[in-house]
Structure formats: structure tokens, C-alpha cells
Amino acid sequence: MNFPLEYPIYQLFYWLVNTHGVGSAFAALAGIGSLLGYFLTLRHIRAAKDDPGEVYSYPTPALHHDEETIPHSGNGKIK
Amino acid sequence: MLKIDLKDKEKLIDPLFAPLNTGFKAAVGLLSLIIAWGGFLYIRQLFYGLGVTGMGRPVYWSMYIVNFVFFIGISHAGTLISAILRVTGAEWRRPITRVAEAITVFALLIGSLQIIIDMGRPDRLPFTLIYGRLQSPIIWDIISVTMYLLGSVTYLFLPLMPDLAIIRDNMPENAPNWRKKFYTILALGWRGTREQWIRLEKAIAFMAVFIIPVAVSVHSIISWILASTLQPGWHSTIFGPYFVIGAIFSGIGALFIAMTAVRKVLGLENYILQRQYRNLGLLFITMNALWFYFTFAENLGLATGQQSYEMPVLAAKLWGTFAPTFWLMVALMAGAFFILVVPSWLPPQKTKLRYGLPIASTITAFMLVVLLATVRMVPSSLLFLQTITARTVLWVLLVLAIIGILAGFSAWFKSNPIAAKVVASTFVVIGMWLERWNIVIPTTTHPMLAAYGSYTPSLTEISITAASVAGFVLMFIVFFKLFPAISIWEIAEGRVMEQAQSIVVIPQPEASGD
């Protein structure tokens, strides 16, 4: 059996887990990625364009009625 | 302008703008004093080094690490429980999610702080980030705790956003200007349009699913920091699930205490009902049973392995230096299980509190007589009983007395289920802190390669621990002076859903027969 570190893929794994700073990069990536994701989510919610006159204090499943509309033919049967 | 039910406004918004009462001021003052004392001793520790603690060769991890594991465990109260209940569509969750999510954020902040306190040279903290290597569970921990903290803050904030807008639109006209600006800024321009609700609901649903594996990873990784070493008592494959189960268990305990305090202090008896206590109580009993299973399995492995370096750790816990904390932990958990389960078997309203103590005393006296009779009339097959020491007899009597008292109070627990849950939760929270102690300290005092040592916490460590608990409670009190303790829109939504469901008539099953 060959020694695993002869193979480039294992050399890459070895480098990944043993090089100082790579873990830091992952930590930074997780932190910055999370912050960016949450910021964009809040921005996305805030930026929703809609009829400003129609506001609701709470949602119900009825709020989603348009999304679940099944196209009907004229005679009442599902297309 | 967003509307709110008048009763909800009176109970959930108006108290936020009421003048500070004496109780609030006294609580904040007392907690601030405890924090100030802890802060002073921490500064002293910075100047004089960790020599002011009870730590020393070979004990380098002690009370601060116990606190770290404990608080991170408590943090599972909120986000994980709230997320699981949200994902599974448990309607009864609505009044308790806000309290649960707040516990998570504050416990995580206090828990993470313990690591900095534990560092003799906190100025070296950036090194763990700069030179972090992926092979180290410490860096996994930094990644998972960071993600959990940021995720929990977001998960607390998302459902809070519509409530902030409701407060913005319905606060009293004489509210201070800074409060008006505060809620307007934090509401992030929420108007409650259809598209905004749809986007918010999607974000909350995503976060609820996302946060569950992150929460599980947090406590698993904390356990792996211990389990990935070869230290006796830590090198265990079941540490991950054992820690996660313990975290959820202590989290539910903290949630029971916090939601009862909020219910009592803010007068929310019409929002947080018996239903929440009953359903969460069932989850609590399940976690209690699982905790016993894992504790047994963990120690069974050590006992049957009989490894020369692991047995001293187990012996220290079972009958050595750490026996009092180990058996107190077991007794508290067993007591909690008793309080949660046994009273429900009693017939309703048969006995009252005034009979509780006499019954307890009678049972204790009866057990005492049986014990004495057994010791006096020792048959030859039980000669080992003659070697029983006075100390052993006292311990047995103590345990019997506790059982007797719990049995005597069962009727009271039955008629006061909320108080019973709080007593059981207090047992569990103390028991879980002791569990962390029993995991960390016996191993650090019985290392594999160095000579055995001993550990007694110093005044500095005890004071900083008290200050940490005070800090947690203070954040909780101040938060709920600024924000509603119950999600206003979720309650309103729940009412409408309940009303709609009550219209649906479920037909009886068709009678079958001849």
C-alpha cells in the first residue's frame, strides 16, 4: 500500500487542515457570509414593492392565496 | 398604520412605557452590584494573572469552562426549541417563542464571554483567529458559535420586526422621543404589506430549518473539544449526543423558569396557559429520561472498561472527592423526574398541602424504622451490613427523607402544576451545571500523564460566576422592558387560525354493527 501523502489530493487535505490561517479563513468566511446573508435578507424584506394602502398586522395562509391558485378552465374543471 | 387588539395593547405594549417601578429598580440595582463586584475581581485577575483562581498544575480548565459549557447548553432553550416547534407546526408554541429566543442570545453572549475570562492573556485572543488551523476543534467551535450567535440574533429579530412596527404605530403619544426613534429605526420601515409578509415568512421558515443543524453542531463541537483528546473520562464517542441532549434538557428548564417569571411579573396569565406547560412538560420528561440513559451509558463504558487511567476518574465521581457533586446531580435529576411524573398519577383533589408534610414525615419515619430493624437483625447472609458506617446511614437517611418529602408534596405539585414545573426546572438547571462540573473537573484533576491534583474554586471564580448569572438575568429584564415578551402578531395570527379551525366540524365515526 502506498503512503497516502504521495497523492496530490491527500497533500491538499494535509495542507488544508494543517496550515495556520486556513481555519481562520473558514471562520471569517462563515462570519462574513452569515452577516452578509442576514443583511441581504432584511434588505429584501424591506424592499418589497406592494400596494402601500393594503397592510396587515398579521399573516394567515389566506395571504398566500395567489401563489397556490390552480388554473381552472371555464367549466370549473382543473385544466 | 398597523392595528392591534386593545387588550393586547394594554398587556403587551403599555407596560413598556409605564414608569419604572421599585421592584424593577431594585432588581437592576442588585444585579448591577453583583456584576460590578465580578467586574472588579476580573480586572484584579487581569493584573495578577490566573494565580488568583483555584487553577494550577494540572487543572487548567475549571469553573469558567464549566460555565461556558453550561451557558451554551442553556442557549439551546430558545432557538432550537423554538425552531423545532415552528418547523413541526406546533401551534401552542406562539406565546413562548420570544422568551425562548431571547434566552438563546443572552446565554450565548455570556457563554462566549467565559472563554475570554478564562484566558489569562485575553490580548492573545486574536491569535486563535489569525493562526487557526482546521484540524483544531477550537476553530470548529469558533465557526459554529459565531454562526449560531449571528443566526440566533437574526432569528430573534425577524419575528420581532412586525412587532416593532406595531409598537411604532401604537405607542402612547407621550412616549419619549428617543423611544419613538428607537422603534422607528429598528422596525426597518416595516409596513406589513402582503409581499413583505410573504418574504418575512419565507425568511423565518428558512432560518428555523437552518438553525437546527447549527445548534446541534454547536454543542457537539463543544463536546468534541473534550472527546478528541485522550484525557481519561473525555475520550468518548457518545459525548456529542450526550451534550446535545443535556443542552436541550437544561434549555427547557431555563425556559420554564424564564416564561414563568415573565408570566408572573408582567401578568401574562391569559397568554401563557397550562397548555404550554403541559406540552413543554412532556418534552421535558422525555429529555429527562434520555439524559439518564446517556449518563448511564457513558459511565457504564468507563466502569466495564476498567482502564487503569480512567477508573480513578470514575471512582472519584462514584465514591471519591467528587461523589457529593455527582450524587447531588443524580438526586436532583431523579427529583425532577419524580415531580414531573408521579403527581400526575394521583387522583385529583384528594389531598391538600396541609397533609403533605405529615405524610412526608410518616413515610420518612417508616423508612427509618425499616432501616434500623434491618441493621439490627442482620442475617448471616447480609453480614456486610455490619460494616455500614454512620456516614453511610446519614446519607441513606437523607435520600430517604428527600423521597419522603417529595412524596408528601406530590399532592401539592398535582394541584400547582406550574410551580411544580418551576421546582423541577430549578433542580434540572442546578443539576446540569453540576453535570458540566462532573465532566470537566474530575478529568482535569486526574490527568493521564501528570500527577493528580485538586481544585477548589476561589472567591474570584465564584464571584465572576455569580456576575455572569446576574448579567444574564439583567439582560433579560432590560430586554423585556424594551420589547414585548410575547410575539404580538403571532398571537393574533394564532387566534384567527384557532377560530377558523373551530368552525370546522369533525364528524363522528360511523357506527358499525348489525
Q: Please report the pLDDT score of residue B345 as a whole number.
A: 83
Whether A39 has its CB under 8 Å from any CB of chain B: the answer is no
Residue A53 has pLDDT above 80, yes or no: no
Query: Does B400 score more than 80 pLDDT?
Result: no
- The average confidence (pLDDT) of chain B is 89
Residues B267, A56: Cα–Cα separation, whole Å? 27
Of the given ranges (B33-42, B112-121, B365-374), which has the lowest mean pLDDT?
A: B365-374
pLDDT at A70: 47
Phi, psi of B56 (to 5 degrees): 175, 165
Contacts of B269 (CB under 8 A, 6+ apart): B263
**pLDDT more than 70, % of chain B:** 92
Shortest CA gap A77–chain B (Å): 25
Give B4's contacts in chain A (Cβ within 8 Å). 57
Q: Which of A58, A60, A64 to mutate to test the interface with B (most CBs of B within 10 A)?
A: A58
Find the helix or strand (DSSP H, E) in which B158 lies: helix B137-170
Please list the residues that pair with B512 across neighbouring strands: none
**Residues present in chain A in total:** 79
Q: What pLDDT was estimated at residue A72?
A: 44
Dump pLDDT digits (tens) for B182-213: 999 999 989 999 899 999 999 999 999 999 99
Can you read off the three cell numbers belonging to residue B92? 401552542
CB spacing of B198 vs A63 below 8 angstroms = yes
Tell me the nearest-neighbour CA distance from B441 into chain A, angstroms: 29
Q: Tell me, what's the pLDDT at A54?
A: 81
CB pairs under 8 A between A and B: 127
pLDDT tens profile B325-338: 999 999 999 999 99
The span from the CA of B437 to the CA of B326, in Å, is: 9
The residue of B4, B163, B193 whose CB has the most chain A CBs within 10 angstroms, and thus the best one to mutate to test that interface, is: B193
Between CA B118 and CA B63 the distance in angstroms is 9
What is the reported pLDDT for B81?
Answer: 78
Contact B131 A20 (CB under 8 A): yes
Chain B touched by A48 (CB under 8 Å): yes
Q: Which of residues 7-26 of A touch B (CB under 8 A)?
A: 16-24, 26
Contact (CB<8Å) B143/A27: yes
pLDDT at A9 over 80: yes
Residues in chain A with CB shorter than 8 Å from the CB of B147 are: 30-31, 34
Across the interface, do B151 and A34 touch by the CB < 8 Å criterion?
yes
Q: Which residues of A touch B194 (CB under 8 A)?
A: 50-51, 54, 56, 63
Q: How far apart are CA B68 and CA B107, in angstroms?
A: 9
Task: Choose the closest CB to B154 out of A38, A57, A63.
Answer: A38
Residues of A in contact with B489 (CB under 8 A): 57-59
Q: Which range is least confidently modeled, A63-72, B103-112, B309-318, B390-399? A: A63-72
pLDDT at B362 over 90: no
Among A16, A45, A57, the residue with its CB nearest the CB of B4 is A57
Task: Kindly state whether A54 is in contact with chain B, defined as any CB-CB distance less than 8 angstroms.
Answer: yes
Q: Which residue has the higher pLDDT, A6 or A36?
A: A36
At B206-263, the pLDDT tens digits run 999 999 999 999 999 999 999 999 999 999 999 999 999 999 999 999 999 999 999 9
A77 in B contact zone (CB under 8 Å): no
pLDDT number for residue B326: 95
Of the candidates A19, A57, A67, the beta carbon closest to that of B3 is on A57
Q: Give the CA distances from residue A29 to residues A14, B170, B375, B381, in Å, rounded to whole numbers and listed in that order.
A: 20, 41, 67, 69
Q: Are residues A31 and B147, on separate chains, in Cβ contact within 8 Å? A: yes
**pLDDT at residue B422 in the model:** 96
**Of B375 and B482, more confident:** B482
